[in-house]
Amino acid sequence: MVKDVIITAMRMLNLTSEAEEAEALPKGRTSEAMDKFLRLYNLVVGEIYDEYRRKDYAAPPYASAVGDEEAKFYGISPRVLAYGVAAEYCVTEGLDEAETWDKRYKSALSLAARPKINIKARRMY
């Protein structure tokens, strides 16, 4: 779920009080922090859709609520999405760790499995 990705990103950033608050929220409820991280999550999904995995979906699989299922891109785990959310948070907040998290995120994306492409052999006439 998107909520799990967001909570993982919060924990990566040592935002433990926000993560604990998010975990304690009843289903269907949200907080200001969760809404902010949902926007960051959608930024990451849009970036992956635009730059890396265009053929997985016809349109970016944005989440409308934290209870939605996370986007399933080929070879990209929820942890990689959490890295992206953490990186976006650091960039938007102007934190010193922004470069570190961005490197982790980009590195994880570069290591992600890619779908195999089979090209049929053609004859030269």
What is the DSSP code string of 35-66? HHHHHHHHHHHHHHHHHT-TTS-SS----SST
pTM of the model as a whole: 0.87
Provide block-wise average pLDDT over 10 residues at a time, the chain (125 residues). Answer: 94 94 87 94 93 78 92 90 96 93 93 74 69
What is the DSSP code string of 7-21? HHHHHHTT-HHHHHH
**How high is the pLDDT of residue 113?**
77
In terms of C-beta distances under 8 Å and separation of at least 24 residues, what long-range contacts does 13-18 make, across chains too? Answer: 13/86, 13/89, 13/90, 13/97
**How high is the pLDDT of residue 121?**
72
Question: Do 45 and 71 form a contact (C-beta atoms < 8 A)?
Answer: yes
Q: Look at the chain and count its residues.
A: 125
Hey, how many other C-beta atoms are within 10 angstroms of the C-beta on 27? Answer: 7
**How high is the pLDDT of residue 27?**
83
Domain ranges within the chain, ordered by starting residue? 2-111
Cα separation, 109 vs 99, in Å, equals 15
**How high is the pLDDT of residue 87?**
96
